[in-house]
Amino acid sequence: MTDTPEITDSHCHLDFPDFDGELPQIIARATAAGVTRMVTICTRLRNEPAVRAIAEAHAPIFYAAGTHPMSAAEEPLASTDELIALTRHPKMVGIGETGLDYHYTAESAEIQQTSLRIHIDAARETGLPLIIHARDADADMARILREEHANGAYACVMHCFSSTPELARAALDLDFYLSMSGITAFPRSTDLREIFAAAPMDRILVETDAPYLAPPPHRGRRNEPAYAADTARRGAETFGLDYAEFAARTQANFDRLFAKAAAHVAAA
């Protein structure tokens, strides 16, 4: 038995080659750190069978699937029906990640926007949360999220949020969630921590985005789900809460947004 508070890594990429042959050890370290659930994200739909297999093989792991915006011009355009069909799997719990990335792939902005709207439609139809990647595209992102929400409500998390206060406010005004990654624990991320501190606590999730963005004291190394605990401890400081309370509240937030994952665990 352990008194370690339980948390969830709401966004990681366990199918990436960085973790080849190590998943049992990765999961064991996560569990020891209190990270009892992980959502692994499929970023190209052709890889969905492999990502699904990881979730099927490991009880703590759920998955989401979509076309990452940086891949939108390279991959076949998903259809709403294709995405909806994937959600029939009991451990497929989110749509995405999708979104807009004008930092690396601004030349494909138009197809990114089309793909994003398709993913939003699937999220709206299924009731599963949309998982958003946003980089250097705040104005278009806020506009599309608002336009689509006016066409019908949907749930959403701004994954690895590191954008402007304006985009944070636009998302929160739509009752969306913001997810804290290792970036929020970097010493120079004072402005980002202030954005989170101004947000309602009931709209906060924790993630790693592993294998990327390891928080201190692991910065510069491969990230892994266990390190979500380090980000969460910094998050607790940001909100002026003790770690156990912060963990419990982010767990409740995850269960509310990812209700399918919560129901699956309850029924297990």
Answer whether residue 252 is part of any domain.
Answer: yes
Q: Is 60 part of a structural domain of the chain?
A: yes
- 87 in a domain, yes or no? yes
What is the distance between the alpha carbons of residues 209 and 212, in angstroms, rounded to a whole number? 6
Share of the chain above pLDDT 70, in %: 99
Backbone angles phi, psi at 113, to 5 degrees: -65, -40
Contacts of 129 (CB under 8 A, 6+ apart): 93, 94, 95, 123, 155, 156, 157, 177, 257, 258
> Would you state the pLDDT for residue 1?
36
Q: Number of folded domains in the chain?
A: 1
CATH number at residue 173: 3.20.20.140
Q: Are 40 and 49 in contact (CB under 8 A)?
A: no
User: Would 37 be classed as within a structural domain?
Assistant: yes
Domain that holds residue 153: 7-267
pLDDT tens for the chain, 268 residues long, are 358 999 999 999 999 999 999 999 999 999 999 999 999 999 999 999 999 999 999 999 999 999 999 999 999 999 999 999 999 999 999 999 999 999 999 999 999 999 999 999 999 999 999 999 999 999 999 999 999 999 999 999 999 999 999 999 999 999 999 999 999 999 999 999 999 999 999 999 999 999 999 999 999 999 999 999 999 999 999 999 999 999 999 999 999 999 999 999 777 6
| Residue 1, domain member (yes or no) | no
Stated pTM of the model: 0.96
In a domain, 253, yes or no: yes
Q: What is the pLDDT of residues 5-62, one digit of tens each?
A: 999 999 999 999 999 999 999 999 999 999 999 999 999 999 999 999 999 999 999 9
Domain contains 2: no
